Chain A
Amino acid sequence: MLTKGHMAESKTLPANQVVTIKPAKGWLGIDLQELWHYRELIYFLTWRDIKVRYKQAALGIAWAILQPVLTTLITSIVFGYLLKVDTGTLPYPVFTLAALLPWHLFQLSLQKSSVSLVGNANLITKIYFPRVIIPLSSVLAVLVDFGISLVILFIAMAIYKMPLTWNALWLVPLTLLTVLAALAVGLWLSALNVQYRDIQQMVPFLLQIWMYATPIVYPITIIPEGTIRYLYSLNPMVGVVQGFRWALFGGSAPDMTLLFSSIAVVVLLVSGLFFFRRMEKTFADVV
């Protein structure tokens, strides 16, 4: 049994590997190889976040279903029934649910990741591991909720007799884009929150503004075309939401908006990673 343990050990980190300690200087990129070494920690922290979230909640994991259902109900009444927002041929509940799912994924990921470093201060001040694992695993944990709520969408579509097409496979890269967008912003906010606790006070407002700057309760067509539409598309969630609707319901394929959104995500993510790595050195001293 012991030999087995030792074999596992030597496979990931050779016993004679020399680790160098020196003052970190300048801007560092992310060390993907090291991240791979720590893949089990990513798994366990993600697993912990999922496990703990609904512990001692009577409804448990059902909340993952209730949240999008209730929000859909509210927005359908306010915007669909009372304000009569024009969604073309699509029934309003399906229209908004298809957008609310990736939005919830983004929102929850951002909420969790922005406070993740401060919430895990006891780990950061005691044990070494790549710090990026903390916001990363808090974002990954939200994916499980997303998977469950996706089922609700398929049920809703079945009720309205809307067929799924092969286009639905596009949901995979679109979900990835959402996760990356949340991670990108989460990296910035979590690192800033270590130093300035103002961030966690700001996040709810930021998300509220962000939601209204995304075509969730209204169709994108109400945004004037041209320069304004392009600027609007710099919001990564615009491309995601438009992409989700197209992948599920067809219609006009996502145009430049998705490209713009993707570029915005890449810029945010790369800058976020560098910023995070730069701040990382002082986390244990400041948090």
Chain B
Amino acid sequence: MEKDTSIVVRGIGKRYKIGAFQERQDTLRDLIVNQVQNLGNVFRKGGGRSKKEEIWALRDVSFDVRQGQALGIIGRNGAGKSTLLKILSRVTDPTEGYGELRGRVGSLLEVGTGFHPELTGRENIFLNGAILGMQRREIEARFDEIVAFSEVEKFIDTPVKRYSSGMYLRLAFAVAAHLEPEILVVDEVLAVGDADFQRKCLGKMGDVADSGRTVLFVSHNMSAILRLTQETIVLDKGGLSLRAPSGEAVDFYLNRGLSKLGERYWEEDEVPASSKPFKPLAIRIVDKDGNVSDSVRSVEPITIEIDYELLEEITGLRVGYYLLTTRGEPVFTSFDIDSEELFREFTARPKGVYSSRCVIPADTLNEGRFVLGVNASSYRIKRYFQDDQALSFSVDASGAAGTQWPEPRPGAVRPALKWTIEERGRS
């Protein structure tokens, strides 16, 4: 290992067995039943019951990180980001490959780990500090700093179970932020807390990186990645698909369709057997030029397309979506046979492949990120398929009503409404 290298990762892989342990053998009874069944299989010669399903959450990943470098890690859910961080912070062992880390590793996989609700803020600072790997003397030396950062001075001797969630979070982050390891591993801590606090956290992380420590930063927040890191690696399906300067990596992730943003295909194993004869194929967001896109403009019409196959005829089928904000607040719900006309035309849909298309008119949605949930059902008969988080997309409000003032507007919708102003006489 070179003197100025902080992290070396060579061919790291992690295999999980699905079903083999977690599901089937959680209790002794299951274990015994399984053993007996396996025994049965031996006699039946090659009965397929003992087949263990394995997945590689991470495979053949290699990279180096220089000392003092802040490296971003991005990828869609299930790409292996969390597994990689868990291996690097030694929470779990890799199945293959090896790695080297120079110095102490501090991980912020989740702030507040080890906080005990019955203990006071003061007690939790010491406990949490020790859990995160700080020495007692270090904690004592930084105690005042931690308390000041957390802004909970007044309640420092109150059990944390009486804290509001914001206070709890601030205290937890304050402890973690004052840990000074040589390598800091951060996973999505910024996804929580109010905007003010997020800014403060981001600032603190910037300080850590500036002070010459190595930072590994996992986030879905591309602007945070761009701000805090110079280089980023992109993970996809457990493998490393690109390492590049952050701007380039974020571009690659967003645009090369690698993240499949703006479009979602349902794999066979994602669809429950109970959905039959309805088979969802894809959902996508299409902008006014006909491009599949994750980011659309509020001032242009947005098309939502749902592709599906009917394996046999279904009566009374309606296919539609819920539109939600990322905080889970419903915006509206719409089905393809909402209109009287289509309702009468499609009382029964024969076997075949379909595409239900819907246009959200221009000047409807406010800026922000939205989530689409898909539902296919026959009213009061059967719900064939539901996916509450089928797809998410962003809306850019530039040019929309009221954007002459650069202030955020509350609310999920931003309709361009007709106003009139009438002068009713002069005083």
Q: Is the CB of B101 within 8 A of A19?
A: yes
Name the residue on B nearest A283 (C-beta). B92
List residues 36-73 of chain A with CB under 8 A from any CB of chain B: 40-41, 43-45, 47-48, 51-52, 55-56
Q: Is the CB of B131 within 8 A of A44?
A: yes
Task: Give the segment of A9-17, A149-157, A263-271 that binds chain B.
Answer: A9-17
**CA–CA, A5 and B127, complex, Å:** 17
Task: Return the chain B residue nearest A21 by Cβ.
Answer: B99
Instruction: Tell me, yes or no, whether B126 is within 8 Å of chain A by CB.
Output: yes
Q: A5-B141, A128-B91 are in contact. Are A20 and B22 (CB under 8 A)?
A: no
Is A211 an interface residue when CB atoms closer than 8 A count as contact?
Answer: no
A1 interface contact, C-beta 8 A: yes
Nearest-neighbour CB distance to chain B for A57, whole angstroms, equals 11
- Check B119 against A52 for contact (C-beta < 8 Å): yes
Inter-chain contacts of B141 with A (CB < 8 A): 1-2, 4-5, 8
Residues of B within 8 A of A167 (CB): none
* C-alpha spacing A18/B156, complex, angstroms: 37
Q: Interface digits, B142-157 against A, CB 8 Å rule (1 contact, 0 not)?
A: 1000000000000000
Q: A9-B138, A44-B130 are in contact. Are A284 and B91 (CB under 8 A)?
A: yes
A242 to B256, CA, bound (A): 75
Q: Is the CB of B101 within 8 A of A18?
A: yes
Shortest C-beta distance, A127 to chain B (Å), equals: 6
Question: Which A residues touch B104, using CB under 8 A?
Answer: 9, 13, 15
**Among A20, A41, A126, A285, residue most surrounded by chain B Cβ atoms (within 10 Å):** A126
- Cβ of B54 within 8 Å of any chain A Cβ, yes or no, is no
Contacts A18-B102, A22-B94, A123-B113 given; does A12 touch B135 at CB 8 Å: yes
Which residues on the B side are within 8 Å of A24 (C-beta)?
93
Total contacting residues, chain A, CB less than 8 A: 46
How far does the alpha carbon of A286 sit from the alpha carbon of B18 in the complex, in Å? 11
- Chain B positions 214-232 with a Cβ under 8 Å from a chain A Cβ: none
Q: Which of B26, B107, B127, B136 contacts A127 (CB 8 A)?
A: B107
Chain A interface helix/strand/loop/mixed: helix
B180–A5 CB distance below 8 A: yes
Partner of A8 from B119, B132, B138 at Cβ < 8 Å: B138
CA distance A195 to B92 in the complex (A): 16
Which residues 20-62 in B have Cβ within 8 Å of A in the complex?
Answer: 21-22, 25-29, 31
Partner of B99, one of A5, A20, A281, A285: A20
- In the complex the two chains form, is A9's CB within 8 Å of B90's CB? no
CB pair A128 B100 closer than 8 Å: no
Indicate whether A196 reaches chain B with its CB closer than 8 angstroms: yes
Chain B residue at minimal CB-CB distance from A42: B130
Number of B residues, CB within 8 Å of A:
55
- From A51, A122, A285, B16 is in contact (CB under 8 Å) with A285
Q: A9-B104, A51-B123, A122-B113 are in contact. Are A23 and B95 (CB under 8 A)?
A: yes
Q: Is the CB of B87 within 8 A of A5?
A: no
Q: Which residue of A is nearest B17, CB measured?
A: A285
Is A197 engaged at the interface, CB distance under 8 Å to the other chain?
yes
Which chain B positions have C-beta within 8 A of A51?
Answer: 118-119, 123
User: Which residues of the other chain, A, contact B346 by a CB distance below 8 angstroms?
Assistant: none
* A-chain residues with CB within 8 Å of residue B137 when the two chains form the complex: 4-5, 8
- Answer whether A44 and B126 are a contact pair too, CB < 8 Å, given A127-B131, A284-B86: yes
Asked if B190 CB lies within 8 Å of chain A CBs, one says no
CB-defined contacts of A20 to chain B, threshold 8 Å: 98-100
**A48-B127, A123-B113 known; A40 and B101 CB under 8 Å?**
no
The residues of A that contact B159 with a CB separation of less than 8 Å are: 55
A285: chain B residues within 8 A (beta carbon): 16, 92
Q: How far is the CA of A281 from the CA of B114 in the complex (A)?
A: 20
Residue contact A17 to B103, C-beta cutoff 8 Å: yes
Residue B377 interfacial (CB < 8 Å): no
CA distance A129 to B102 in the complex (A): 17
* A12 CA / B136 CA spacing, docked (Å): 12
Q: Which residues of B contact A22 (CB under 8 A)?
A: 93-94, 97-99
Kindly list chain B residues whose C-beta atoms are within 8 Å of the C-beta of A44.
126-127, 130-131
Bound state CA distance, A122 and B96, in angstroms?
25
* Complexed CA–CA distance, A9 and B105 (Å): 12
Distance A285 CA – B54 CA, assembled complex (angstroms) = 14
Nearest residue, chain A, Cβ from B106? A127
Q: Does B109 contact A (CB under 8 A)?
A: yes
Closest to A197 in B: B27
Least CB distance from B255 to A in Å reads: 33
Cβ-defined contact, A195 with B90, below 8 A: no
A9 touches B130 (CB 8 A): no
Known: A5-B142, A5-B180, A23-B96. A128 touches B127 (CB 8 A): no
Q: Which residues of chain B are within 8 angstroms of A127 by Cβ–Cβ distance?
A: 89, 91, 107, 109, 113-114, 131-133
- Which 7 residue pairs of A and B lie closest in terms of their CB atoms, listed nearest first? A128-B90, A21-B99, A44-B130, A22-B98, A8-B137, A5-B138, A284-B92
Inter-chain pairs besides A6-B180, A45-B130, 8 sampled, C-beta below 8 Å: A1-B142, A9-B135, A15-B104, A22-B94, A40-B135, A122-B113, A123-B114, A198-B27
A sample of 7 cross-chain residue pairs with beta-carbon separation below 8 angstroms, ordered by A number, consists of A5-B138, A21-B101, A22-B97, A52-B116, A123-B131, A126-B110, A127-B109
